[in-house]
Amino acid sequence: MKFKSQGEYKIKSINLLNALEIEFTKNLTQLDLVLKYYNLVVKSSFEFMKINSNDSILNDRYHMRLLLQNTSWNWTFGPQNGALQSGKASGEINLIENATLTNMLFS
């Protein structure tokens, strides 16, 4: 990849790193939400399993419905990697001068 100037090289590498940072931040946000619902499912499942026939919760339709609803969440994590794939395909990933970071991105 040829650049007209050192400035162009620096701008391209900064743009790539900014895109990777935005993508990483979005992925962390998505993962946090998935984990939140996963923990809600686990908590509700344990609470649901503790119910016995003498429990007053069986008479509380709202609470019972809420428990059933919470145990049915099935969220998946689908991280975005468009910026990374684009950087790899274009060769711009090689603009990153940090060898450790580049190796981690390729692993």
- Helices 82-90 and 6-49 cross at an angle (nearest 10°) of 150
Is 64 among the domain residues?
A: yes
| Mean pLDDT of all residues in 17-31 | 93
Q: What is the pLDDT of residues 46-98, one digit of tens each?
A: 887 777 666 666 667 777 788 888 888 777 888 888 888 888 888 888 888 88
Q: Which pLDDT band holds residue 100 (cuts at 50, 70, 90)?
A: confident
User: Count of domains in the chain?
Assistant: 1
pLDDT at site 19: 92
Is 49 among the domain residues?
A: yes
Is 62 among the domain residues?
A: yes
pLDDT at site 2: 56
Assessment of whether the complete model's pTM goes beyond 0.75: no
* Structural domain span for residue 92: 6-106
Is 1 among the domain residues?
A: no
Is 47 among the domain residues?
A: yes
